[in-house]
Structure 1
Amino acid sequence: MPKRRANGEGNIRKRKDGRWEGRYTVGHDSETGKAIIKNVLGKTQAEVKEKLKKAIEENVGIDYGRAKTYTVGNWLEVWYENYAKIKMRPSTYLTYHGYIENHIKPQLGKIPLNDLTTLHLQQFYKKLLAEGRVERIEAQKQPKGLSAKTVRNIHQIISSALKLAVEQRLIACNPADGCALPKAERKEMQTLPVEQLTSFLREAKDSGVFALYYIDLTTGLRRGELLGLKWSDIDLEKGDLRVQRQIGRINGKIIEMPLKTC
């Protein structure tokens, strides 16, 4: 009966194509008992020997048997439901859910978690920038590609989920760490000329919403914070206004949410 190779053992051989290959055992399949083999390649025996040593060190303690049960898609679901969702605002986790379901899972979801590479992610981001927009009626006149900001947000989701996989010893390293990301776009703020602003406030006064827009223009409150104001938040004698809540729409329902920042 052949001797069962222990986790971390490796051997080196020269392939028919002239390259050198180092193979090492990272674990055993919990169902079949068969060894799970990984490999490294190089032009020389010395190069492969160094790569093999590094790979074995990096993979010490990795639970490949458990990792094998996950694809990128269902690991993202685990991360989202059990880690990310509990510490996000409702509007944020709904946005994240949309990114996962509409973009990440259709393109990367079926890849085994341990097989995901930096190249997979780089090609995915390139495709999102070129033609990533989900086809909707309201988006027909917009560019086909997603913005650099959206792609960076999607990368952050993937990176966070993979960081957890590293911490759980399911993968040896985070492939998202080596990605080149599109440069964040900084658009110059456009303000209304005095003439247009005066005209706008005149119309607002005639429509009965002058106070709402005047406060927004003079304080820079977010829409949700502005809509969450109550008379009890305003002290007319002292000239104080306290922002203590914000209003948002989640699944068609208007709800009160905690402030994004103090």
Structure 2
Amino acid sequence: MPGQRKRNPNGAGTITKRKDGRYQCAVYVLQPDGTRARKFAYGKTWAECDAKRRALLDKVASGVPVPTRSAKLADWLPYWLDNMIKPKRKRTTYAKYEVHVRLYLVPMLGTKRLESLSVADVRRFLVRLEKDTTAATAKESHKVLRTALSAACREELITRNVVTLTEPPRVEQPDITPWTLEETLSFLAAARTDPLYAAFMLAIALGFRRGEIVGLRWQDVDLDKRVIRVRKQRQRVGGEAYEDDPKGRRRKQALPLPAICVAPLRWQRMRQASMRERAGSDWQESGYVFTTRTGRPVEPRNVYRSFTRVAANAELRVIRLHDARHGCATLLTAAGVAPRVVMEILGHSQIAVTMNVYTHVVQDTQREAVSHMDRLLKRRVDRE
């Protein structure tokens, strides 16, 4: 008597061969709404199809929802933000992505399903958004949507990312005009009596970012050995102040402290000791280099406010505090420092970032090189 054909246990799914020669598996999976539904997957061979069946069963065992129908962007984008961006990326990144999802992507593309979104849909969205806002906003939304759909591809919810097939809007980079050496020296002279004078010196001499300045602690400053580290930065997002890891290569660095920064930092330490004595029991020890009169950390925006106030009082062009980093690069390059060293000092993760941001510095160097060439060729022509 022939033996009975073995069947997979209940819930293990089935594999069948289709008329077109491909194999098809079917597994009951969990839906986002808590119900169960049958999910189909396909493969050219039985082994390929069985691997997909096992992958679906693993998700079932882990309680991961697997939609049988492609989700709408209005459902996928918030899920992607909360489960893939929020746990792994910086809060500032999450906040920036959330704004684009809430204000632009969901209102304008939310009804589209992942599987039905087309290149034409994305292109029309970008054209409309650029018209209603700016090219920079449309370009950033393009980046957010591309990242979200790349995650959907990895989750095997869609087979291709149509956003990668569309060109983002072109954004003209604004001309960067940092202070000249004379303007920088005038600012430092005017800021000498300001409580944040040492902070401005770090921004100009080492290119510190605003968050890196207010997040600096005394334990990371060695004035005797003239070494400084940036281990944390302070940010404020959604009304909440918090500490985060610094950008780029900062955390891995122990930077030599320029001699011009040592005296202002010593003065800051003495000034803070005086404030601590006057505050008495109201003092809140935080360990930060720059604090309020009661020891609390300085708000990042207040550093910029003081910076612009001093510049305006000195009748200087008012620039962004971040542009002090550009000025730092300008001064270092003018002094003949190699771009790679400038990159290390400013904490960029890639040399391309340094070169792209400070193209104007490179152009000045090119003009000097061409001038040398002119002198050499003119000398040879004059001889002949």
What's the TM-score once normalised by structure 2's chain length? 0.46
Query: How far does the alpha carbon of each residue in 1:68-95 deviate from its partner, in whole angstroms, 9 at most, with x for none?
Result: 3511111112211111221111111011
Q: 2:212 aligns with which of 225, 230, 242?
A: 225
Task: Give the match for residue 110 of structure 2.
Answer: 109
Which digits, 9 at most, give the CA deviation of each residue in 1:116-146, with x for residues without a partner?
Answer: 10111111111222213xxxxxxxxxxxx24
Partner in structure 2 of residue 99 of structure 1: 100
Partner in structure 2 of residue 84 of structure 1: 85
Q: Secondary structure at the match of 1:91?
A: helix
For 1:212, the aligned partner's letter is A
Which residue matches 1:242?
Answer: 229
Q: Map residues 55-66 of structure 1 onto 2, 5 A cutoff.
A: 66=67
Q: Is the 8 A contact 2:146 2:161 kept in 1?
A: yes
Q: Aligned-pair distance for 1:160? A: 2.0
- Cα distance in 2 for residues equivalent to 1:245 and 1:224: 8
Runs of 4+ that moved beyond 6 A: 6-9
Q: Conserved in 1, the CA contact under 8 Å of 2:70 and 2:115?
A: no
Scaled by the length of structure 1, the TM-score of the pair is 0.66
The residue number in structure 2 matching 1:194 is 181
Q: Is the 8 A contact 2:122 2:166 kept in 1?
A: yes
Where 2:192 maps in the other structure, the secondary structure is helix
Q: Which residue of 1 aligns with 2:142?
A: 155
What is the one-letter code of the residue matched to 1:94?
A
Structure 1: gaps of 5 or more residues: 1-5, 10-26, 34-60, 133-144
Amino acid at match of 1:249: R
Question: Counterparts of 1:172 and 1:221 in 2: how far apart (Å)?
Answer: 43
Q: Which residue of 1 aligns with 2:172?
A: 185
Identity of aligned residues (%): 26
SS in structure 2 opposite 1:249? Answer: strand
Give the equivalent residue in structure 2 for 1:204: 191
C-alpha contact 2:233 2:245 (8 A) present in aligned 1: yes
Deviation, structure 1 residue 158: 1.2
Aligned to 2:73: 72
Q: CA distance change for structure 1 residues 7 and 77 in 2, over 3 Å: closer, same or farther?
A: farther
Secondary structure, in 3 states, of the residue corresponding to 1:208?
A: coil
Shift in Å, 1:172:
2.6
Q: Work out which of the two has the higher radius of gyration on C-alpha atoms and give 1 or 2.
A: 2
- Normalized per residue, the structure richer in strand is 1
- Is the 8 Å Cα contact of residues 245 and 258 (structure 1) preserved in structure 2? yes
Contact 2:139 2:169 in 1 (8 A): yes
- Rounded to whole Å, the distance in 1 between the matches of 2:99 and 2:18 is 40
Flag structure 2 segments of 5+ consecutive residues without an equivalent: 1-16, 21-25, 38-51, 57-65, 250-384
Highest RCO, 1 vs 2 (Cα 8 Å, sep ≥ 6)? 1
- RMSD over aligned CA atoms reads 2.8
Structure in which a larger fraction of residues adopt helix: 2
Give the direction of change, closer, same or farther, for the CA distance of 1:154–1:256 in structure 2 (3 Å limit): same
Report SS of the residue matched to 2:205.
helix
Which amino acid counterpart does residue 250 of structure 1 have in structure 2? V
Change (3 A) 1:191 1:246: same
Report the Cα distance in structure 1 between the residues aligned to 2:245 and 2:100, rounded to whole angstroms.
Answer: 23
May I ask how many residue pairs the two structures share in their alignment? 194
Going from structure 1 to structure 2, the CA distance change for 1:196 and 1:73 (only over 3 Å counts) comes to: same
CA contact (8 A) 2:70 2:157 kept: no
For 1:139-197, what per-residue CA distance to the aligned partner results, in whole angstroms no more than 9, with x for missing partners?
xxxxxx242xx433322221222123223332232111210122353333211133432
Counterpart contact for 2:119–2:163, Cα < 8 Å: yes
